[in-house]
Amino acid sequence: MATADLTLTQILTRLQRLYSAEQAQECYQQLCEAMTASRDKLAQKQGRHAPAAPSHSNVWSQDDVVLITYGDSIYDAEGGVPLRELKDFLAQHVQDAISHVHLLPFFPYSSDDGFSVIDYLQVDPDLGDWQDVAALHQHYKLMFDYVLNHVSRESLWFTDFKANVAPFNEFFIEVDPKTDVSMVVRPRNTPLLVPAYTHAGRKWVWATFSADQIDLNFANPAVLLKMLDVLLFYIEQGAEIVRLDAVAFLWKVLGTPSIHLPQTHEVVKLIRDVMAWVSPNSLVLTETNVPHQENVSYFGEGDEAHLVYQFSLAPLVLHALYRGDGQYLTAWAQDLAAPPPGCNYLNFTASHDGIGLRPVEGLLPDREIEDLIAGMHRQGGYVSMRSRPDGSQSPYEINISLFSAFRETCHGLGPDQWQVDRFICSQLIMLSLQGIPALYIHSLLATVNDQEGVERTGRTRSINRRKWAKPYLEALLAREHSPNAKVLKRLVAVLKRRKKHRAFHPDTNQQVLNLGPAFFALWRGLGELKFPLLAVFNLTNDFQTFDLAACLVASAGIESQSQQWVNLLDHQTYDQDDAAVMLAPYQVLWLMPGQLDDVNPLWAMHTD
């Protein structure tokens, strides 16, 4: 059976697992029509503008770096179009150091900085229009948010629900307010059921995240079809990566936790199949801010998400550098299983959301989590809570700018001179690990806590969602010694250097070493590449030494006869027999075997 026919068979089978036989068949016929129309549109675009898509096995490489940003993270006070300002800023300061732009929700919305969508098919006119999105796509691949769990209370869909207009009168989940919903896993401490005043009186509807974000009823196949139409539209508009926002909560069944249900996994697999048939190189990314094993369950058997966020990484890196102790980071990374073939991790240390604490459940002792929270409070941060089934509350995420989070350590000495180096170390850890890296624009710009934003909105997440006035930002970047200029310059240089090495390919293997709590260290490509890379990170604010010779002796698979190892970051050479390599506070080594060549620097040579 041809691959395309096999995919269609899988789609029908998945629909049959979700709905009755009659519903599944009707849904399948309508979906096939929509998929065919969408694929035809894409074929016409590619015929005019682009060659045929490459095979899926080549869909990512070490060139791939995602930049996470709102459409108006940078704006012109004189009234320029924010999406155009973003494109111009990236062209001037970032260029090809990144490959993808994750445009956080850029649709008309009513709350939550875009995640309460009023209209899925329109660009917020305050940001620009679809032509501006297309202009950005001429330079970068794009990631779109697919906010499929809920819609805005102000959307036309919910308006029609309240007016009892078909089919939207069955698009949402009505629940008797006396129903026991204590088993439902909550990411928030707000009520699960919220009132809606309809033509038939007051009803209570399911709202996982807020009273303004009303959950959709995917048990109704009409809802699935409507949302798949949205998905196909996004692919037609150039979305190479589709981020499934809050997807773990998609399917609800009273009397269950209503998270990670089998039907939810089936819908994710269905979305992957639909995308594979229409646009084979488009990727599914799941956003599930939960404990690690629950998170990676969205790989399925290699048939579900292509990418999952590496949610445990951010709190573990923050903890390691705050404490100057990498034992928990090392232990987690040593146990980290390689993703299934055709799948990978999206590594990140900061995003528009906070630093999740559920992903370190079982990885960090409770006392360490409590100490970390207290330390982030001292540095201006907040903690958001979630409700537990027994009615108690527990920490859900730390809200803080990542750059501000590294202002000081746990030693109680206050701010020190190492903030920039400590922060850069955190980013280089992320850039060294197996997977595709993603940087938040405020990490690239060393943005500090936006306390004014918190006061203005009343929401703690605003602390990490500053909107930069472009003239002011440009003035800061023009000052060579400002933290903003230092961080941007160093990270862009590292990103461009990193692209030239096969060791950083997302699929290249990794082997994590234990050099003691002061260090984090790993090999990339050991036993796989002619030129493997040894990455070593000093996690402390003291000088530290490690035994390079012992690392090399203990590591099998090194074929190089070179007596020298060169740090790609500064070109300093080290003898392979050196038993006491000294690292300055927060210094990072990216070591490869070879001899520095002044004509062809090492970082431009090893591309095997």
pLDDT of residue 561: 57
pTM: 0.94
Region 575-593: mean pLDDT is 95
Instruction: Give the per-residue pLDDT at 414.
Output: 84
The two three-digit tokens of residue 17, written as one number: 């697992």
Mean pLDDT, to the nearest integer, of 584-605? Answer: 68
Q: What is the pLDDT of residue 448?
A: 98
Reply yes or no on whether the pLDDT at 464 is more than 50: yes
pLDDT for the residue 560 = 54
Q: Is 501 annotated as a binding residue?
A: no
Residue appearing with tokens 């009186």: 201
Q: Where are the beta strands (DSSP E) in 480-572?
A: 510-513, 519-524, 533-538, 544-546, 564-567
Q: Is 442 labelled as part of a ligand binding site?
A: no
Q: Give the residue from 187, 212, 207, 251 showing the smallest Cα distance to 389.
A: 187
Mean pLDDT across 232-247: 97
Query: Where do the structural domains in the chain lie, given as residue ranges?
Result: 56-153+216-503, 508-604
Q: Is 569 annotated as a binding residue?
A: no
**CA dist., res. 531 & res. 576, Å (int):** 14
Here the tokens at position 572 are 């300093």
- pLDDT category of residue 50 using cuts at 50, 70 and 90: very low
* Residue 117 to residue 150: CA distance in whole angstroms: 8
**What average pLDDT does the segment 63-76 reach?**
97
Q: How far apart are CA 106 and CA 527, in angstroms?
A: 44
What does the pLDDT read at residue 58? 59
Per-residue confidence at 558, pLDDT binned at 50, 70, 90?
A: low
State yes or no: 243 annotated in a binding site: yes
Residue 355, pLDDT score:
96
Same fold, 56-153+216-503 and 508-604: no
Q: For the ranges 40-49, 81-90, 169-178, which has the lowest average pLDDT? A: 40-49
Question: Which residues are designated catalytic?
Answer: 245
Which CATH number does 56-153+216-503 carry?
Answer: 3.20.20.80
Residue 53, burial from CB neighbour count under 10 angstroms (0-12, 13-18, 19+):
middle
pLDDT 10s digits, 269-317: 999 999 999 999 999 999 999 999 999 999 999 999 999 999 999 999 9
The pLDDT value given to residue 601? 42
CA distance 64 to 67: 10
What per-residue confidence (pLDDT) applies to 77? 80
The class (CATH top level) of 508-604 is: mainly beta
Query: Is 150 among the annotated ligand-binding positions?
Result: yes
Task: Report pLDDT for 115.
Answer: 97
Q: Is 353 annotated as a binding residue?
A: yes
Task: Between 534 and 561, name the one with better pLDDT.
Answer: 534
Asked if pLDDT for residue 465 goes beyond 90, the answer is: yes
pLDDT at 559: 55
Helix (H, G, I), strand (E, B) or coil at 175: coil
Condensed to tens digits (0 to 9), the pLDDT of residues 346-392 reads: 999 999 999 999 999 999 999 999 999 999 999 999 999 988 877 78
Q: Is 367 annotated as a binding residue?
A: no
Task: Specify the range with the lowest mean pLDDT, choosing from 11-15, 44-48, 121-125.
Answer: 44-48
Q: Enumerate the β-bridge partners of residue 582.
A: 545
> Is 90 exceeded by the pLDDT of residue 144?
yes
Residue 608 has pLDDT above 80, yes or no: no
**Phi, psi dihedral angles at 359 (to 5 degrees):** -65, -10
* DSSP-assigned states of every residue in 255-294: TS--SS-HHHHHHHHHHHHHHHHH-TT-EEEE---S-HHH
Average pLDDT rounded to a whole number, residues 428-438: 98
d(CA 237, CA 133): 8
- The pLDDT confidence band at residue 596, using thresholds 50, 70 and 90, is very low
119 is in an annotated binding site: no
